[in-house]
């Protein structure tokens, strides 16, 4: 067995093994599987064809061993602590018309609302009372909540809660806007790249949107010192294994501090309303593999997992996730942030359900970690 072998190096023993396997069978032999796993545990990439085998060639026993390895890595890095973030959904208005999203501007059936700065501060006060160390502001690209509004709101949160981290997930903005938000007190920024493949991106978005521009936003955020989150939908319409391989290659290039992956969930009154949901099992596989490749990453067990599978969040945590984001939005509007159908936002998915969440985690041998939960070695840094 050759530790750290890149599977794309022609002439190497493992290159020949992988290609022999591709010709003979879709399944990965035990020897090749063990070498792939050792490569990941050694801190190296298995290369595109190695990733292909790990995504589509494992049997159930091998997939379980990948999840077990990821679970061991996350416990080694983070103990039994699971970071909680207070999620505040600030607006259901959006200027964009993404084909998969229930908030798309053409959806006349969507319920619309937007929070004021005072509303947001009220949510933060409740979150601070409950012990949250991070507030996440997430919303559609609402033109009323422009750069000035966002900067002022971030500054107000930071002034009242200087010990808490502020994470933004408010879409594509200019580099100058990102700089202003950072200087006002924002620490992290979530912006899923959705798909690295430009042709696939065009299948999911109207022509005025660009995957290249979205990736440029992510690079700008990194340069400005944010802890950055990228990621993709799993099982989105038209997605292939090769698209996921492109996604992994992009993540290896960008090296984000946070990686968000959730299964595609169809939304009513969208072009993809009747498309099948993404695979929970493949999502768990990706969570585990990204944990092995990026052992220090902050990886959420997403609401989409919990929406498709009543035990999806627990499964995500067992597969290597280490973040959950209970909903801290006002109860009166929580059901209106309908990015997809049946979104889980109550019970242990809600901020008020922290006791239920703690009980769930305790049964897994875990506990809530109430701190800021920064990427190891990062505490937000200078603004």
Q: Quick one: pLDDT band at residue 296, thresholds 50, 70, 90?
A: very high
**pLDDT for residue 126:** 94
Q: Are 7 and 18 in contact (CB under 8 A)?
A: yes
Q: What is the pLDDT of residues 260-287, one digit of tens each?
A: 999 999 999 999 999 999 999 999 999 9
**What's the mean pLDDT when you consider all of the chain?**
90
User: How much of the chain, in percent, has pLDDT values that exceed 90?
Assistant: 81
pLDDT at residue 350 is higher than 80? no
190-236 pLDDT tens trace:
999 999 999 999 999 999 999 999 999 999 999 999 999 999 999 99
Model confidence at 242, pLDDT cuts 50, 70, 90, reads very high
Determine the average pLDDT of the residues in 177-183: 98
Q: What confidence category does residue 162 fall into, taking pLDDT thresholds of 50, 70 and 90?
A: very high
Model confidence at 19: pLDDT above 70: no
**Distance of alpha carbon 129 from alpha carbon 136, whole angstroms:** 16
Q: In this predicted structure, which of 155-169, 274-288, 352-366 has the lowest mean pLDDT?
A: 352-366
Strand ranges of the sheet holding 188-190, from the earlier edge strand across to the other edge:
86-91, 134-139, 165-169, 188-190, 227-234, 258-263
pLDDT digits (tens, 9 = 90+) for 301-345: 998 998 899 899 999 999 999 999 998 999 888 777 766 566 554
Instruction: Give the residue extent of every domain in the chain.
Output: 13-58, 79-369
Confidence check: pLDDT of 138 > 50: yes
Q: Report the number of secondary-structure helices (H) and strands (E) in the chain.
A: 14, 9
CA dist., res. 375 & res. 263, Å (int)? 24
CATH topology of domain 79-369: TIM Barrel (3.20.20)
pLDDT attached to residue 2 = 37
Digit-coded pLDDT (tens) for 33-76? 999 999 999 999 999 999 999 999 999 999 999 999 999 999 99
Give the pLDDT confidence score for residue 21 in this predicted structure: 45
Identify the pLDDT of residue 1.
34
Whether residue 382 is predicted with pLDDT greater than 60 in this model: the reply is no
273 Cβ partners below 8 Å, 6+ apart?
266, 267
Q: In 10 A of CB 339, how many CB atoms?
A: 22
């Amino acid at each position: 067995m050759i530790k750290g072998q890149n599977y794309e190096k022609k002439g190497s023993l493992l290159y020949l093994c992988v290609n022999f396997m591709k010709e003979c069978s879709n399944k990965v032999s035990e020897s090749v599987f063990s070498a792939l796993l050792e490569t990941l545990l050694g801190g190296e990439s298995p290369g595109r064809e190695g990733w292909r085998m790990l995504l589509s060639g494992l049997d159930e026993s091998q997939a379980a061993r990948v999840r077990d390895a990821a679970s061991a890595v996350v416990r080694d890095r983070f103990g039994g602590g699971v970071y909680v973030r207070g999620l505040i959904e600030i607006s259901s208005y959006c200027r964009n018309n993404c084909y998969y999203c229930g908030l798309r501007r053409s959806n006349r059936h969507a319920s619309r609302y937007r929070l004021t700065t005072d509303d947001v501060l009220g949510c933060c006060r409740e979150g601070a009372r409950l012990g949250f160390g991070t507030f996440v502001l997430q919303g559609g690209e609402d033109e009323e909540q422009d750069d000035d509004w966002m900067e002022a709101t971030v500054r107000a949160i930071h002034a009242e809660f200087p010990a808490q981290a502020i994470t933004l997930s408010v879409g594509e903005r200019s580099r100058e806007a990102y700089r202003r938000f950072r200087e006002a007190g924002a620490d992290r920024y979530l912006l899923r790249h959705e798909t690295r493949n430009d042709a696939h991106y065009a299948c999911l978005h109207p022509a005025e949107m660009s995957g290249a521009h979205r990736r440029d936003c992510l690079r700008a955020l990194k340069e400005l010192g944010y802890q950055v989150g990228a990621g993709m939908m799993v099982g989105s319409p038209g997605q292939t294994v090769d698209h996921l391989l492109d996604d992994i290659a992009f993540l290896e290039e960008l090296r984000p501090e946070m990686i968000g992956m959730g299964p595609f969930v169809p939304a009513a009154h969208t072009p993809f309303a009747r498309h099948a949901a993404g695979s929970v099992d493949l999502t768990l596989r990706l969570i585990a593999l990204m944990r092995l490749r990026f052992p220090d990453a902050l990886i959420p067990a997403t609401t989409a997992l919990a929406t498709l599978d009543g035990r999806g969040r627990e499964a995500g945590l067992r597969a290597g996730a280490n973040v959950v984001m209970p909903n801290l939005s006002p109860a009166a509007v929580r059901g209106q942030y309908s990015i997809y159908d049946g979104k889980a936002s109550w019970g242990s998915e809600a901020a008020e359900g922290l006791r239920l969440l703690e009980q769930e985690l305790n049964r897994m041998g875990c506990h809530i970690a109430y701190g800021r939960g920064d990427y190891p070695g990062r505490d937000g840094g200078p603004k």
